[in-house]
Homo-oligomer: A and B are copies of this chain.
């Protein structure tokens, strides 16, 4: 997706060989026009797939999933929660996820009310790197007896193992920009 890659080159900030900051347009400040283009592109990539629900994880995935839903006949969006709140049902699907960015392991939960057997679920997120968060979501979908229709990622770090791990689970991954490497403050796409 050229519009996205151009934006990453223009406004992304590379820190070392691994950190790509896109917080001016994707995951702290958000460009909602760009997110609409991202939603359209997910629709195009998963054209012909029956999608009953979009699942993501708080916080950065939420706007991406919400805007994308508009291009998938407004299917319901569910976001997995990372923290224990008093207001969540006791009946949850749950898994553990390790965040390398935040250097901690946390529980991820989805209320059992919002994932049903045989539903076809599209998982979306802003980044794919190690794949930990996405694999946790796939696990949750399968606990529910639902089916993962695919994974839609905005930016994939192609030099990390996430895609391989997800494909091992028999799940299709579509990433709108795949970063091959970062070097001398520059981003190289696959």
Q: Which residues of A contact B (CB under 8 A)?
A: 19, 21, 23-24, 28-33, 35-36, 58-59, 62-63, 65-67, 69-70, 74-79, 81, 83-89, 101-103, 110-111, 113-114
Q: Which residue of B lies closest to A76 (CB)?
A: B29
CB distance from A76 to the nearest CB of B (A): 5
How often does this chain occur in the complex, in copies? 2
CB nearest neighbor in B for A72: B32
In whole angstroms, what is the CA distance A125 to B181 when docked? 38
Contact A77 B114 (CB under 8 A): no
Please state if B63 and A77 are interface contacts (CB–CB under 8 Å). Answer: yes
A89 to B36, CA, bound (A): 26
A38 to chain B, nearest CB (A): 12
A86 to chain B, nearest CB (A): 5
What are the 7 tightest A-B residue pairs by CB atom distance, in nearest-first order? A63-B66, A58-B59, A32-B69, A62-B62, A29-B114, A30-B77, A59-B59
Q: A77's closest neighbor in chain B, by CB?
A: B30
5 inter-chain pairs at a CB distance below 8 angstroms, sorted by A residue, are A29-B113, A30-B66, A32-B66, A58-B58, A85-B102
| Chain B residue nearest in CB terms to A113 | B24
Q: A19 is contacted by which of B59, B66, B87 (Cβ under 8 Å)?
A: B87
